[in-house]
Copies of this chain bind each other. A is one copy, B any other.
Amino acid sequence: MRTGIATVCLSGTLKEKMQACAIAGFDGIEIFEQDLVTSPLSPEDVRKMAADLGLTLDLYQPFRDFDGVTEDLLAANLRLGMDTILVCSNVATATIDDDGLRARQLAALAELAGDHGVKVAYEALAWGKYVNDYEHAHRLVEMVDHPNLGTCLDSFHILSRDWDTAPIEDFNPDKIFFVQVADAPKLSMDVLSWSRHYRVFPGEGQFELAKFMGHVVRAGYTGPVSLEVFNDVFRQSDVERTAVDAMRSLIWLEEQSAKWLDANAASVSNGRAGNGGAGAKAAGRRRYPMELATLPQVAEPAGFNFAEVKAADTAALETVLGQLGFEFNGRHRTKDVQLWTMGHARVIINEQAPAAGDSAGSPAPAIAALGFDVDSPVIASARAQQLKAPVVPRKSQANEEVFQGFAAPDSTEIFVCQGSPDGTAAWINEFGETREFGAGLEVPSGSRNAVIDHVNLAQPWQHFDEAVLFYTSALALEPQPYAEVASPSGLVRSQVMQTSDRAVRLVLNLAPLLQQDGTRHKTYQEHIAFAVDDLVATARASRDRGLDFLQIPANYYEDLDARFGLDPDFLATLQDLNLLYDRDADGEFLHFYTATVGSVFFEMVERRGSYDGYGAPNAPVRHAVQYDHLHQLTK
């Protein structure tokens, strides 16, 4: 698949955009007129720079109705060395709805373009005045039947209108001059604003893009597949990083399209799309004019292998984990890390070197890394690297397990580890057997099966969509519909990513802006939640050990009573232990939170029945109490 991207997707100058596209590995770019007009580079400079960078110049977008396309414009196109110009269906100047007239105008344009050696790709805008359906645009192209006139298929304009994409298969591939792809969240708003501000890269929204691409591939199209994503956030973000995010989305789309084709091989029609299709099916593999690259295949992770927190002063973390009932499993024999375990839940405390000089600069406790159980760490790591995840080096001595790691967009380090059926991890033998803290403590029976239930990470506003695609593509997690939770600092957007069996649940929170400071949000608190069999017992034991619980206000329990009419003894127990409660048709959820250490706190949960949520109705209480506590500290 030939990959491309429109310059309008990215921030920066035309030169910066082109360099970032080359670094990210794109084959070609589409140039928007405005990027050229505002650039100090002449068209010839742009042409040479593209050649030097190994980028093809695939399409020029003047953003005009086709009666505004002049000889000057076509000449400029040629100076860039481009042979294709995009012309959109009329939104304003057209006054007559007459396909015959439109065909004559398009024919004249194609003739003019032909005189200059330029091809015209005609596209139906979703909000076109008369032509807003891609099949209509294609019919006009067929009517004109000129070698310099074809159509451009843009997934946004097609899928935002819910048009059926199957008819694409029957298009003559010679008449498809260009394919543009964009994803989008499903929003109920006017389609023009939706298109201009909220498009995202494939895999970051809710459109069925693999299916769209499947039909395009079956039609026999072999040209560029180019991203055209108007997004207010991407236009403000670091250009090189966004270009990598964009490239990742096409690599992922390529794989997903191939999978869709495999899964839907039976439905291949006998028409043009069958070139290779039917025969390939018989041979057990597909073959289409467009080659689709594949990635190393991974299943969803089987669970969390560990969570890692880091701190210069680890005392407070050690205390809280001990109070929760974690056992100290000693220090690593060669690294400055500690292992703490409770049942199958493993927490590594990474002892950071204090900052030289004053202690204020020393790293406060924060979530640093997550380990996931996978079938093959090597394959999973290879897949992530092909998806352009930066490798995280972690030194290992001989006879120690090698950790394959890469960095997530929020800078959390992700390690893919060898899972084992019994839930153990071979690397724990690298830790000493000392049990200094917690030795002799009674481990409550309800904690013996403890596991990491979920991890909640804050995401910077400019990298939220990137994170969703990253965890989707590199770790095979599935994004769920997002929720918005009220907090005293603003609404928090909460995006759950999980495996189908819920063995891994990751919650990405887009924090209010004033709680963000650059790439990671030290003022926004993140947490690790552990599931136990008996939360009440765990809470009692933790209280006996002196745990500092997050204090839940009395009003909460009155409201709980009004909402659920709980047994008075049970309600009293909840209130006594600062436990929170939720219930739905599938089951019940009990949980409590610890006070915060640095930017980290911990949660203990018990899931009863098939309860599948996170106690979302309780989140505002948690946010309010944490906010209050933080403000009292900083006053």
Contact = CB atoms under 8 A, between A and B. Distances in A.
Contacts of A461: 513
A625 B38 contact: yes
Interface in A535-571: 551, 553-556, 558-559, 561-562
A12 interface: yes
Contacts of A631: 13, 16
A85 B127 CA distance: 44
A201 B562 CA distance: 34
Nearest to A628: B13
Interface stretch (A70-78, A136-144, A248-256): A70-78
Interface stretch (A219-227, A428-436, A488-496, A497-505): A488-496
Contacts of A334: none
15 contacts: A13-B628, A16-B631, A33-B559, A37-B621, A38-B553, A38-B556, A38-B620, A38-B624, A39-B555, A40-B555, A42-B554, A72-B561, A76-B562, A189-B189, A462-B513
A273 to B, nearest CB: 38
A43 B558 CA distance: 11
A524 B247 CA distance: 30
Contacts of A559: 33, 37
A34 interface: yes
A190 B623 CA distance: 28
A556 B76 CA distance: 12
B555 A37 contact: yes
Main secondary structure of the interface of A (DSSP, over half): helix
A562 B72 contact: yes
A474 to B, nearest CB: 26
A85 to B, nearest CB: 14
Contacts of A491: 232, 235
Nearest to A235: B490
Given A38-B625, A39-B555, A462-B513, 14 more contacts: A11-B489, A13-B628, A36-B555, A39-B553, A40-B553, A40-B625, A43-B555, A72-B561, A187-B189, A188-B190, A235-B486, A235-B489, A236-B512, A513-B513
A360 interface: no
B11 A488 contact: yes
A315 interface: no
A514 interface: yes
A486 B34 contact: yes
Interface residues of A, number: 54
A39 B235 CA distance: 40
A627 interface: yes
A39 B73 contact: no
A377 to B, nearest CB: 36
Contact of A620 (B34, B42, B76, B189): B34
A634 interface: no
A243 B322 CA distance: 44
A197 to B, nearest CB: 8
Number of copies of this kind of chain in the complex: 2
A195 to B, nearest CB: 13
B562 A236 contact: no
Interface string A453-493: 00000000110000000000000000000000010111100
A13 B562 contact: no
Given A37-B621, A512-B236, A555-B37, A73 B11 contact: no
A95 interface: no
Interface in A1-31: 11-13, 16
B512 A38 contact: no
A232 B39 contact: no
A40 B188 CA distance: 38
A343 to B, nearest CB: 32
A74 to B, nearest CB: 10
A70 B562 contact: yes
A458 to B, nearest CB: 15
Contacts of A34: 486, 620
Contacts of A399: none
B189 A236 contact: no
A193 interface: yes
A529 to B, nearest CB: 20
Contacts of A558: 72, 76
Interface in A31-69: 33-34, 36-43
Contacts of A70: 562
B13 A627 contact: yes
Nearest to A10: B488
Nearest to A513: B236
Contacts of A562: 70, 72-73, 76
Contacts of A489: 11, 235-236
B236 A514 contact: yes
Contacts of A42: 554-555
A488 B12 contact: yes
Contact of A39 (B43, B193, B486, B624): B624
Contacts of A513: 236, 461-462, 513
A556 B513 CA distance: 37
Interface in A607-633: 620-621, 623-625, 627-628, 631
Nearest to A514: B236
A14 B36 CA distance: 53
A242 to B, nearest CB: 11
A461 B513 CA distance: 10
Given A236-B489, A561-B72, A562-B70, A40 B628 contact: yes
A581 to B, nearest CB: 13
A565 to B, nearest CB: 9
Contacts of A551: 40
A34, A236, A461: most-surrounded residue (chain B CB, <10 A)? A236
